[in-house]
């Protein structure tokens, strides 16, 4: 008898889930990214017990056609890329076709969805990778996904989770970054009925920053921009009097995708020169636009780490435009600032 066997689909999905679905916040991230990719203008995120009881994401986007609903839960099935070349010019947040099957392999997932042209919508219930029910639904255009009993069949993962407070903070953090990177979408987040975030979605970045960091802090931030042949940078940065004790308040958004990048975060801090006290960091929301050919997002399943060509050049540009913007602020006499 051969020793090597092909894994069942459910088992393969559970293994993939180990990378994609680390904690409730990862589920929120994947579901909201799908809603963004579906061209939604409104996304509501309803959480119970920091996501352990329920994670629900409701959008008014394109929806999924009845014939496609089951495919959406099959691994490596995606509507976002078709060819090898597409991989080098990714404009959507998703493309790996892994999130829904991974999530559905470790939870109860209820999907209700409808496209604009369909006469009726579809309801689907998948649990632990098994489809339990499919029927038509009266839902209007858009998608509502509910994830319950997360990690019910992976006790080790459940045990590894931190306190509800920590898990909720991680959810808030990722939703804030998604809201900052998509200020044209009205996004709301609530946990156990308490509203934690509500953005207007009118494309005004400063207003989105106000919703997240408070009006007072937003007022201490100034717009800045810069560009060279390869990169265009826009955003808001705090003046040196508004600082934080961690680098966590720096949001790097690359072609609309929130990314983590040590060198670029440091380049931002470097732009402040000696204006920041040791151990203090700025608040910054930095949008970087570049040709998708210059960035490889296919580095890690969560797509938060990316590889950027000409990263050194980008880092230098960032430092320079922040340095110039802060210097410019110092040229304005205090008496004129509030005029
Ligand atoms: P990916 O986002 O990488 O394509 P997912 O597993 O997250 O993979 O989703 C699979 C497919 O299901 C998507 O390609 C998309 O066609 C569809 N889909 C998922 N969520 C939504 C949504 N909220 N609105 C419309 N379509 C969706
Ligand atoms: Mg996705």
pLDDT tens for 113-154 read: 999 999 999 999 999 999 999 999 998 899 999 999 999 999
Identify the pLDDT of residue 276.
93
Ligand 1 pocket member 143 (CB < 6 A): yes
Looking at the fold, whether 185 and 286 belong to one and the same domain comes out as: no
CA 200, distance to chain mean position in Å, is: 17
| Residue nearest atom 8 of ligand 1, based on CA coordinates | 97
User: Stretch 150-171: mean pLDDT, rounded?
Assistant: 94
Last-in-domain residue among 169, 199, 229: 199
* Confidence at 284, pLDDT banded by 50, 70, 90: very high
Looking at the fold, whether 154 and 87 belong to one and the same domain comes out as: yes
Mean pLDDT of the chain: 94
Q: With respect to residue 4, please indicate whether it lies within any of the assigned structural domains.
A: no
Looking at the fold, whether 216 and 293 belong to one and the same domain comes out as: yes
* Confidence at 338, pLDDT banded by 50, 70, 90: low
Looking at the fold, whether 138 and 245 belong to one and the same domain comes out as: no
Q: With respect to residue 175, please indicate whether it lies within any of the assigned structural domains.
A: yes
Q: What's the 3-state SS for 310-339?
A: CHHHHHHHHHHHHHHHHHHHHHCCHHHHCC
User: Stretch 184-208: mean pLDDT, rounded?
Assistant: 97
Identify the pLDDT of residue 333.
63
Is-contact 276 323, C-beta < 8 A?
no
Identify the pLDDT of residue 17.
83
78 alpha carbon – ligand 1 mean position (Å):
6
54 alpha carbon – ligand 1 mean position (Å):
20
Ligand 1 pocket member 100 (CB < 6 A): yes
Non-local (6+) Cβ contacts of 246 within 8 A are: 281
- Asked if pLDDT for residue 332 goes beyond 90, the answer is no
Q: What percent of the chain has pLDDT over 70?
A: 98
Looking at the fold, whether 37 and 179 belong to one and the same domain comes out as: yes
Measured CA to CA, the distance from residue 58 to residue 40 in angstroms comes to 10
Q: With respect to residue 195, please indicate whether it lies within any of the assigned structural domains.
A: yes
Q: With respect to residue 334, please indicate whether it lies within any of the assigned structural domains.
A: no
Alpha-helix runs per DSSP H in 182-310: 205-213, 215-219, 262-270
Q: Which ligand is nearest to the CA of 121?
A: 1
Ligand 1 pocket member 141 (CB < 6 A): no
Above 0.95 for ipTM, yes or no?
A: yes
Measured CA to CA, the distance from residue 317 to residue 286 in angstroms comes to 12
Ligand 1 pocket member 72 (CB < 6 A): yes
Q: With respect to residue 336, please indicate whether it lies within any of the assigned structural domains.
A: no
Q: What percent of the chain has pLDDT over 90?
A: 85
Question: pLDDT digit string (tens) for 218-268?
Answer: 999 999 999 999 999 999 999 999 999 999 999 999 999 999 999 999 999
Identify the pLDDT of residue 337.
60
The three-class DSSP label of residue 118 is coil
Q: With respect to residue 243, please indicate whether it lies within any of the assigned structural domains.
A: yes
Looking at the fold, whether 303 and 232 belong to one and the same domain comes out as: yes
Identify the pLDDT of residue 339.
55
The CATH number assigned to the domain holding 76 equals 3.30.565.10
Looking at the fold, whether 112 and 230 belong to one and the same domain comes out as: no
Identify the pLDDT of residue 304.
86
Last-in-domain residue among 172, 199, 226: 199
* Confidence at 18, pLDDT banded by 50, 70, 90: confident
The CATH number assigned to the domain holding 220 equals 3.30.230.10
Looking at the fold, whether 223 and 319 belong to one and the same domain comes out as: yes
Ligand 1 pocket member 99 (CB < 6 A): yes
Name the domain count of the chain.
2
Q: With respect to residue 165, please indicate whether it lies within any of the assigned structural domains.
A: yes
Instruction: Retrieve residue 138's tokens.
Output: 């009266």
Q: With respect to residue 333, please indicate whether it lies within any of the assigned structural domains.
A: no
Q: Choose the residue to mutate in 19, 40, 100 for probing ligand 1, maximizing ligand atoms within 8 Å of C-beta.
A: 100
Which atom of ligand 1 approaches the CA of 62 most closely?
Answer: 25
Measured CA to CA, the distance from residue 267 to residue 261 in angstroms comes to 10
Measured CA to CA, the distance from residue 309 to residue 214 in angstroms comes to 35
- Asked if pLDDT for residue 172 goes beyond 60, the answer is yes
CA 302, distance to chain mean position in Å, is: 10
Looking at the fold, whether 211 and 175 belong to one and the same domain comes out as: no
Ligand 1 pocket member 96 (CB < 6 A): yes
Looking at the fold, whether 305 and 211 belong to one and the same domain comes out as: yes
Looking at the fold, whether 90 and 168 belong to one and the same domain comes out as: yes
149 alpha carbon – ligand 2 mean position (Å):
20
Q: Which domain holds residue 58?
A: 9-199
Last-in-domain residue among 178, 199, 220: 199
Looking at the fold, whether 137 and 106 belong to one and the same domain comes out as: yes
């Amino acid at each position: 008898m051969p020793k090597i066997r092909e894994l069942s689909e459910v088992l393969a999905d559970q293994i993939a889930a180990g990378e994609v679905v680390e904690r409730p916040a990862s589920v929120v991230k994947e579901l909201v990214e799908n809603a963004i990719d579906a061209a939604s203008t409104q996304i509501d995120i309803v959480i119970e017990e920091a996501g352990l009881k329920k994670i629900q994401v409701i959008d008014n986007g394109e929806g999924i056609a009845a014939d496609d609903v089951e495919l959406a839960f099959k691994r490596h099935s995606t509507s976002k890329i078709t060819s090898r070349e597409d991989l080098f010019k990714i404009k959507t947040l998703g493309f790996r076709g892994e999130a829904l099957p991974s999530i559905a392999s470790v939870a109860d997932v209820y999907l209700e969805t409808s496209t604009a042209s369909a006469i009726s919508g579809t309801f689907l219930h998948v649990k632990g990778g098994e489809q339990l029910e499919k029927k038509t639904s009266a839902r209007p255009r858009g998608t509502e996904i509910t994830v319950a009993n997360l990690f019910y069949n992976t006790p080790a993962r459940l045990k590894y989770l931190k306190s509800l407070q920590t898990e909720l903070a991680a959810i808030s953090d990722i939703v804030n970054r998604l809201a900052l990177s998509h200020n044209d979408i009205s996004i709301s987040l609530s946990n156990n009925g308490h509203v934690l975030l509500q953005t207007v979605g009118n494309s005004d970045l400063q207003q989105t920053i106000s919703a997240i960091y408070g009006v007072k802090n937003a007022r201490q931030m100034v717009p800045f921009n810069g560009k060279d042949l390869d990169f265009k940078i826009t955003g808001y940065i705090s003046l040196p009097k508004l600082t934080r004790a961690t680098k966590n308040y720096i949001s790097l958004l690359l072609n609309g995708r929130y990314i983590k990048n040590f060198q670029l975060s440091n380049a931002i801090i470097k732009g402040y020169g000696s204006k920041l006290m040791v151990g203090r960091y700025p608040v910054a929301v930095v949008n970087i636009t570049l040709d998708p050919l210059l960035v490889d997002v296919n580095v890690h399943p969560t797509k938060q780490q990316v590889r950027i060509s000409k990263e050194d050049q980008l880092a230098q540009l960032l430092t320079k435009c922040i340095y110039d913007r802060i210097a410019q602020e110092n040229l304005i006499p205090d008496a004129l600032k509030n005029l």
